[in-house]
Chain A
Amino acid sequence: MSEILLHPFVLRGILAGVIAGFLGGYYGGFVVQRRMSFLGDGLAHVAFGGIALGLLLQFEPLWMAIPFTILVAIALTYSKEKTTLEIDTTIGIFFAVSVALGILFISLNKQYTSDAFSYLFGSILIVSATDLLLAGVFALISLLISLFFWKRWTYASFDVELAASDRIAVASDNYLLSVLVALSIVISIKLVGIILVSSFLVIPSASAKLVSRTFSSMTLLGIIFGASSSIVGVIISVLWDLPSGSAIILTQALIFLLCVVISKRLS
């Protein structure tokens, strides 16, 4: 039974899950603390528009989704900075428009569209070696960037005005954070699918927040919860032939419940 876990596609899935868990746990701290949990859902559905266009044009869907999602992430940040609209309102608009475009592109596609469904629900079977390499490179770049920006993003997450008064370039930092969150979402889509990808940004970090006394420990625990739930989830999905996205997210939910119990005891 355990031999199946050594298959290359399973190992690729586990590795991709660890990378997605790392990215989600890392950026999720900022997303949760800034009350932008809906951002993950919104950007994932924006990516759907890009993926559907890629499928229609017979171009690698993720390569189409990346610029699509980044552009919207920038537009969302711009709208937050420059208009009186709340970010959830703007996300709601882009969310609906992108899904509408996605459905339109799929309906225009005369070829078989099962691919679109694997992007919606995710599957470790569709994680290629190239996807893994792309995700790995991005995670590494994220890590390098974070060495400089973590302290700035954290300070602005605590109090944006206080950070700005200490000469932190809050506006440009926010654009960078949005772009990196968008990329981490697109990269995680193949594994858990569009519908569930935002969980990587929300559940591990929310769990970590319940049992953390500092933001640095929240970040670290968020990464650990994100990566470990991916490993456990992928293994469960392979052993019992379950959808990988569901298995991962239900594992995350279990961790969340444990953290709720622990936090009650801590308080």
Chain B
Amino acid sequence: MNNKPIKIQNLSVFFGKFCVLKDISVTIDQGDFVTIIGPNGAGKTTLIKVVLGLINPNEGNITVFGKKPTEVPFEFVGYVPQIKTLDRTFPAKPIELVATGLFGNWKYKLSNETKKKCEKAMEMLGIASLAERPLNRLSGGELQRVYLARSLVRNPKLLILDEPATGVDTITEIDFSILLDNYLKQSNTTILMVTHDWEYAFHHSNKVLLLNKRVISYDSPKKIFTEEHLHKTFGHTGHTHTMEFIIKKNE
């Protein structure tokens, strides 16, 4: 039985006549940490939404743990969306949001047992003291950890993160990557992350998917970050920092 976390074959997605993803074929193994890199409009978020079962592909096949994405039990997959999409006016406490990770819906009242489980996940990420604070009083970095706690509380087999560093400062971003690394050391969770941070992808993931509507390359970071691949993905590699990154990587 095919129980690979993600298996995609010849997948294409169109929005009307506009092609968003074309002929994507990728297999992700258990325990892989895959980062997706590509320019704006490359289809990165669309690909994630296809894996989550939020968008149906027009062509091709995708299985998540051997099933159609919409048939995968919700607790198998943890999803950390871009925090900029959050409606901060919603009256809620962080612990309530974390509890959605356990139940897959919003509880009217949390039992003591549920609270303990949620607090444990929040403690692991250093945010136990924020459990009862109004959601609208959290900083971007705190909110990002709440979303991560929400995903980790269910012990997911697959963790999907969509640009988790968007809207947070550099130090918070580094803290977040340390937290994620620490978690990965204790688990065999597969990770799929959209990021614009090449350094992060190079040092933390074991595979990188270069995407620009189609797969440009899918391999280990050392093989991926070449001038040729980046040129194919982004159209040019003329910026100083890009060249510096490639030189540093080769050293």
Contact = CB atoms under 8 A, between A and B. Distances in A.
Interface of A: 33, 150-152, 154-155, 157-159, 161-168, 209, 212-218
B108 A216 contact: yes
Contacts of B74: 165-167
Contact of B91 (A151, A155, A168, A215): A215
A216 B95 CA distance: 14
Nearest to A29: B91
Contacts, number: 72
B108 A150 contact: yes
Contact of A159 (B52, B73, B86, B107): B86
B143 to A, nearest CB: 12
Given A158-B90, A159-B86, A161-B54, A166 B96 contact: no
A158 B106 contact: yes
Interface string B74-118: 100101010001110111110011001001111111000000000
Given A159-B85, A161-B85, A165-B77, A216 B93 contact: no
A213 B134 CA distance: 6
Given A213-B91, A215-B92, A159 B104 contact: no
A214 B105 contact: no
Given A162-B100, A165-B77, A213 B105 contact: no
Given A164-B54, A166-B74, A166-B100, A152 B93 contact: no
B79 A214 contact: no
Nearest to B147: A162
Contact of B104 (A33, A157, A168, A212): A168
Interface in B46-62: 52-54
A214 B93 contact: yes
B105 A209 contact: no
Give the 5 A-B residue pairs with the shortest CB-CB distance, closest first. Answer: A166-B104, A154-B106, A155-B106, A151-B105, A166-B74
B70 interface: yes
Given A162-B79, A164-B54, A166-B74, A151 B90 contact: no
Choose among A150, A152, A166, A212 the residue with the greatest number of B CB atoms under 10 Å from its CB: A166
Given A157-B90, A214-B91, A162 B108 contact: no
Choose among A150, A157, A161 the residue with the greatest number of B CB atoms under 10 Å from its CB: A161
A35 to B, nearest CB: 9
A152 B107 CA distance: 9
A33 B92 CA distance: 12
28 contacts: A151-B106, A152-B106, A155-B105, A155-B106, A157-B90, A158-B90, A159-B86, A161-B81, A162-B79, A164-B53, A164-B54, A165-B53, A165-B54, A165-B79, A167-B53, A167-B104, A168-B105, A212-B91, A213-B93, A213-B134, A214-B91, A214-B92, A214-B96, A215-B90, A215-B92, A216-B109, A217-B91, A218-B91
Choose among B81, B93, B106 the residue with the greatest number of A CB atoms under 10 Å from its CB: B106
A164 B105 CA distance: 10
A149 to B, nearest CB: 10
Contacts of A166: 74, 100, 104-105
A33 B134 contact: no
A157 B70 CA distance: 21
Choose among A164, A216, A218 the residue with the greatest number of B CB atoms under 10 Å from its CB: A216
B107 A151 contact: yes
Given A165-B53, A165-B54, A33 B90 contact: yes
A167 B70 contact: yes
Contacts of B81: 159, 161-162
A166 B92 CA distance: 19
B34 to A, nearest CB: 18
A203 B139 CA distance: 30
B78 to A, nearest CB: 10
A218 to B, nearest CB: 5
A15 B108 CA distance: 27
A147 to B, nearest CB: 10
Nearest to A163: B105
Contacts of A152: 105-106
Nearest to B104: A166
Contact of A165 (B52, B73, B86, B97): B52
B100 A155 contact: yes
Contacts of B89: 33, 209
Interface in B106-155: 106-109, 134
Nearest to A147: B108
A168 B52 CA distance: 12
A161 B84 CA distance: 13
A58 B21 CA distance: 58
